[in-house]
Structure 1
Amino acid sequence: MTAKQSLRSSLNKAAYVLAKETRRHPGSVNRELNDLMGVERRAEATADQLREALEYAGDRLRALNKRQRAPKQKDSTHEEFDFTSGGDPPF
């Protein structure tokens, strides 16, 4: 397997995971990545274009992962005014 084939295979896997994580259709993710590279088909892309798209997909996946792991902020509105136990709302 050549370096270009390996990059293309890695990009295909990253595109699949990105589509799955963002709940998007894989075809739309593929179009987005192909547009980023400026090609109609991945086979037309140079190794540098494939690396750039793979880096972009990796950055998106890391950002999604970071967002999912961020601690949830407490919504103190319910606790302060005790809406959950039938307390009167503040308005």
Structure 2
Amino acid sequence: MALDRETAEQVAHLARLRLEPGQAADVAEDLSRVLDLIDQIEQVDTAGVTPLAHPLDLSQALRADEVTNQPDRERLQGSAPDVMEGYYRVPRSVE
């Protein structure tokens, strides 16, 4: 499907794209090639092909949910300016 320069400019306007002078002809050619590929894909016979929800028929490999590093609260809060009952205290910001 061949697009002309005016159609390419209209598509660019709808897509909110600014085309430089002389660029519309190149865009029209590129869009024409994309539309030709879409036409080619639409001609493929897909009768009897079951649609897929995902292209890979695999289950997701998950690692075991194990604790590997216990944070040391006292060491982490040791450099905090103010701590109370295991929580960081910060100045009040809402009156």
State the TM-score bracket (shorter-chain normalisation): 0.3 to 0.5
Q: Which structure has the highest helix share of the two?
A: 1
Over alpha carbons, which structure has the higher Rg?
Answer: 2
User: TM-score, normalised to structure 1's length?
Assistant: 0.33
User: TM-score, normalised to structure 2's length?
Assistant: 0.32
Q: Which structure has the highest strand share of the two?
A: 2
